[in-house]
Chain A
Amino acid sequence: MAIVEVRKLRKYFDAGGVHAVDGVDVATEEGEYLVLLGPSGCGKTTLLRTIAGLEVPTEGEVLIGGHVVNGLPPRARRIAMVFQSYALYPHKSVLANIVFPLKAERIGKAERERKAGWAADLLGIGHLFDRKPRQLSGGERQRVALARALVREPSVFLLDEPLSNLDAKLRASARDELKSFQQRIGTTTIYVTHDQVEAMGLGDRIAVMYEGRVRQIGKPVEVYDDPADTFVATFLGSPPMNLVPRDGRLIGFRPEHLLPEEIVSGDDRITLPFHVHRLEHLSGDRHLYGVVKGLGEETRIIARLPATVSVPITPDQTYTFAVHGYHLRFFDAKSGERTDPVRVGG
């Protein structure tokens, strides 16, 4: 049984003028980490808030634990939510913040403190109990917010961009902590982010959203390798997938799959002349900006050479690069949807 399921969910704002969520069907699997990924305004947060009960859907159903919860207020849904701002109560101490949901459930003081202690141990924040939120760092605040969510022992965690307020360095370690934390407690989690790195790193599955719809849902590697349409293909990956127009189709390949011909072996390789305009060194990799001919129309593309490839490249030169046929993806130029592969000459 799915812990959380939404069926044909629609949420319109401004009397139907804005379709924030426009027909979404998603079901989580037991204990899974589902990431809702998409650019700003794609409806991912609205979807999460509708599941939480903070928004009333215009159409469709939200099910939690197999029951339709459309009419239930947030507190009756057995969910816990961590907000982007963490939404800690600034006038309460860390301990009072953590036990607040338990007080609301009228749980006795001893039991409240036992649970708060357990959650704090799990997150390593026991020494902060007497502090006020303003005396905490971003990472500590995030852990307090998680502890507050955890003590209720919810059937699902809803996390709304919980890492976006952290600086880049802290974000990487907090991401790692979040993942191991979820694996330890095993609670189904829905996580909203616009950051593909977080999505790829954290998610058991990723639902890529755009304009209120789920474009693709699948394991990170599936969404990355086999994008369902050009939006997914270009939203995921840094740099994004290259798309070369040819006869009403777009031929896509990842920047890391276009390599100098001498290191691409095999029968199905396709060689292309690549005129390099510019070159960037990023984290040891080399990003080459230039133009390819031969695959389809002349197109500006990016190739990414890993640090292990030491072939010398200088700007304003043309080199022969190659890509494996099995790395090519084909899309309809009009709709952007995936199509069957076609033969492209080698």
Chain B
Amino acid sequence: MAQATLERADVETGRRARPRFADRDGLLAWVFLLPSVVYIIALVAVPFFLAIAFSFSDVTTGNPSFNWAGLRNYQRIFGDPVFWQSLKNTLVYTGIAMALIVVLGKVLANILVANFRGKWIVRFLVLLPWTTPVALSAIAWLWLLDSIFSPIDWVLREFGFIQGNMYWLGKPNLAMASVIAVYTWRTLPLAAVIIMAGLVAIPKDIVEAAAVDGAGFWRRMFEVTIPFTLPVIAVAALFGAVITFTDMTVVYLLTGGGPTHSTQVLASWAFIKGIEGGDLAQGAAVALFLFPLLLAAVIAILTAVRRMEVS
């Protein structure tokens, strides 16, 4: 009532009731978006363009003055076998880790949605790796895979599977397997939670109809739940791929790229070259190689998701 009187007064006096700050959606949108826009520009866009600029220069940590170097950095990294080894490793790790993440993520998601006593503690344990800072967990793994004191070796020895030590991080193939295992272990919880969200969203009627229609566990899984969750699984795979592809911490802390660069990946090689080696220009050129590959992968998966979306 008071409002109505006020409005009439406004109309009578010819004064326009000005919209308040909170009424102006367009302005509010910008105000709320601004922090993240600033954040993205400062921490993503600027370094990205800086890296592009560096890759065409001769900037080093010792001499930060910018001199145009053309494609010389690229020529040099292409001539370096470690670069090709890193590229190959990056692709292989990502591929294998992604496959493992999807399959194990689906299995874990099934466990997460299942109703059983003590499911909360299981959920907590499943999510734990994701919440642990990567440097901490990599160090924990460093100890688990230690060449002499590895508890994994100890268990295997006690059961009589091995004698002596495995030297997980000392042999190229075992080191690669170890790195892949740690990648998978880290990203699995996220993938499992994403897939779980997909599973929970399947209409209950459909799953029950399949049960009444006589479908057993495997048929229900392959003919109903997987087709339903395919877009979500693709998203989980995308996250897994991107995280694995761009991560340098695991390799850097576990193996340092060794033995003799056999586990080197693009991200760790870029860091070693650019920061530790001081050749910022070459480091930038190596790091930039991640970008087109990631972009292609993201576009491919998002397109696939779109096509697969079940109405």
Contacts and interface: CB of A to CB of B under 8 A. Distances in A.
Interface of A: 52-54, 73-75, 79-81, 83-85, 87-92, 100-101, 103-105, 132, 134, 148, 152
The CB with the most chain B CB atoms within 10 A, among A79, A91, A103, A105, is that of A91
B230 to A, nearest CB: 9
Given A90-B310, A91-B227, A75 B208 contact: no
B214 A75 contact: yes
A81 B215 contact: no
A75 B216 contact: yes
A84 B224 CA distance: 19
A104 B212 contact: no
A54 B209 CA distance: 10
21 contacts: A74-B211, A75-B211, A75-B215, A75-B216, A79-B212, A81-B209, A84-B205, A87-B209, A88-B209, A89-B210, A89-B227, A90-B311, A91-B227, A91-B228, A100-B223, A101-B213, A103-B219, A104-B216, A132-B311, A152-B213, A152-B214
B228 A75 contact: no
A152 B224 CA distance: 19
Given A90-B310, A91-B228, A85 B213 contact: no
Nearest to B205: A87
The 6 A-B pairs of least Cβ separation, nearest first, read A87-B209, A104-B214, A87-B205, A75-B214, A101-B213, A91-B227
B214 A91 contact: no
A83 B213 CA distance: 12
B203 interface: yes
Given A100-B223, A104-B219, A83 B214 contact: no
Nearest to A79: B212
A105 B224 CA distance: 16
Nearest to B308: A91
A132 B311 CA distance: 10
Given A91-B310, A134-B311, A104 B215 contact: yes
A134 B309 CA distance: 13
Given A89-B206, A91-B310, A81 B223 contact: no
B203 A85 contact: yes
Nearest to B207: A87
A79 B206 CA distance: 16
B219 A87 contact: no
A81 B310 contact: no
A105 B214 contact: yes
Interface string B210-245: 111111100100011001100000000000000000
Given A87-B206, A91-B310, A73 B211 contact: yes
Contacts of B205: 83-85, 87
A126 B183 CA distance: 51
Contacts of B219: 103-104
Nearest to A91: B227
Contact of A101 (B203, B206, B214, B310): B214
Interface in B162-221: 203, 205-206, 208-216, 219
Given A87-B208, A100-B223, 5 more contacts: A75-B211, A83-B209, A89-B206, A91-B310, A100-B213
A81 B212 contact: yes
Nearest to A133: B311
The CB with the most chain A CB atoms within 10 A, among B206, B211, B214, B311, is that of B214
Given A87-B203, A91-B310, A74 B228 contact: no
Given A83-B208, A85-B205, A91-B310, A104 B228 contact: no
B212 A54 contact: yes
A130 to B, nearest CB: 16
